[in-house]
Amino acid sequence: MTKYAVLDKDTIKSEIMPHLSVAKKGFITKFDLVEIVNAILYKLKSGCQWRLLPMGHLFSGEIPSWNTVFHHYRKWSTNDEWQAVYSRILSKGKKSLDLSLSHIDGSHTPAYRGGEKVEYQGRKKRSTTNALFFTDNQGIPLEMSEPQSGNHADLYDIENRIDEIVGQLKASDIPVDGLFCDLDAGFDGKELRRALDSHGIISNVCPNPRNGWEKTEKRLFDEKMYRERWKIERTNAWMDGFKAVLTRFDTTVSSWKGWNFIAFIVIFLKKFHKSN
pLDDT in tens, 88-100: 999 999 999 999 9
Pair (64, 125) in one structural domain: no
Q: How far is CA 211 from CA 73, 158, 185, 193, 205, in A?
A: 45, 17, 10, 14, 13
Per the domain annotation, does 50 fall within a domain? yes
Q: Pairing mode, if any, of strands 202-205 and 180-183?
A: parallel
Beta bridge partners of 110: 128
Q: At what angle do helices 253-272 and 81-93 cross, to 10 degrees?
A: 20
Per the domain annotation, does 91 fall within a domain? no
Residues in the chain: 276
Pair (64, 110) in one structural domain: no
Structure confidence by residue, pLDDT tens digits, 52-99: 999 999 998 889 999 999 999 999 999 999 999 999 999 999 999 999
Confidence band for 31, pLDDT divided at 50, 70 and 90: confident
Per the domain annotation, does 154 fall within a domain? yes
Per the domain annotation, does 254 fall within a domain? no
Pair (191, 145) in one structural domain: yes
Give the pLDDT confidence score for residue 220 in this predicted structure. 80
Pair (190, 131) in one structural domain: yes
Per the domain annotation, does 4 fall within a domain? no
Confidence band for 209, pLDDT divided at 50, 70 and 90: confident
Pair (112, 67) in one structural domain: no
Pair (245, 131) in one structural domain: yes
User: Phi then psi for 192, rounded to 5 degrees?
Assistant: -65, -50
Q: Is the pLDDT of residue 144 over 60?
A: yes
Q: Is the pLDDT of residue 4 over 90?
A: no
Number of domains in the chain: 2
Q: Which structural domain range is residue 179 located in?
A: 96-249
Contact 181, 104 (CB under 8 A): yes
Pair (71, 104) in one structural domain: no
Question: Could you give the count of Cα atoms lying within 13 Å of 103 in the half-sphere of its Cβ?
Answer: 25
Mean pLDDT of the residues in the chain: 91
Per the domain annotation, does 176 fall within a domain? yes
Pair (161, 202) in one structural domain: yes
- Positive or negative, the CA dihedral 264, 267, 272, 273 is positive
Pair (71, 132) in one structural domain: no
The CATH number that applies at residue 245 is: 3.30.420
Give the pLDDT confidence score for residue 275 in this predicted structure. 43
Give the pLDDT confidence score for residue 230 in this predicted structure. 96
Pair (74, 135) in one structural domain: no
| Residue predicted with more confidence, 239 or 213 | 239
Pair (64, 115) in one structural domain: no
Domain boundary among 28, 44, 79: 79
Pair (119, 196) in one structural domain: yes
Per the domain annotation, does 264 fall within a domain? no
3-state helix, strand, coil split of the chain in percent (to 5) is 50, 15, 40
Alpha carbons 6 and 58: distance in angstroms, whole number:
10
The arithmetic mean of pLDDT across residues 146-151, rounded, is 96
